[in-house]
Amino acid sequence: MCLAIPARLVEKRDHDQAVVDLGGIRKPVSIALVPEAEVGDYVIVHVGHAIGMIDPEEAEKTLALFAEMQAMTGA
């Protein structure tokens, strides 16, 4: 099963590249599919690509659920 996760865009770079924050870890991603994304926006990330935009409230709810699941599993 594949999972796409919300991440906050923290830096835009040249050639449709950007950096996102994934729970304190910064990762490079392609934003070719969401060129309208700006720093501070939340995007859905799947295998190194931002594949869509997400409302900040929904992103925060999803991230909170992930944190809750992590706490329950001890991972």
Amino acid at 44: I
Model pTM? 0.87
- Number of Cβ atoms within 10 Å of the Cβ of 35: 9
Residue 58 per-residue DSSP state? H
* Cα radius of gyration rounded to whole Å, the chain: 12
Domains of the chain: 5-73 (2.30.30.140)
Residue 39 pLDDT class (50, 70, 90 cuts): very high
pLDDT at 20 > cutoff 80: yes
What are 55-72's pLDDT values in tens digits?
Answer: 999 999 988 888 888 888
Longest CA–CA span in the chain (Å) reads 40
17 or 23, greater pLDDT: 17
Distance of CA 30 to the CA centre of its chain: 11
pLDDT above 90: percentage of residues in the chain: 75
Q: For residue 34, what are the contacts with CB-CB under 8 A and spacing of at least 6?
A: 43, 50, 51, 52, 53
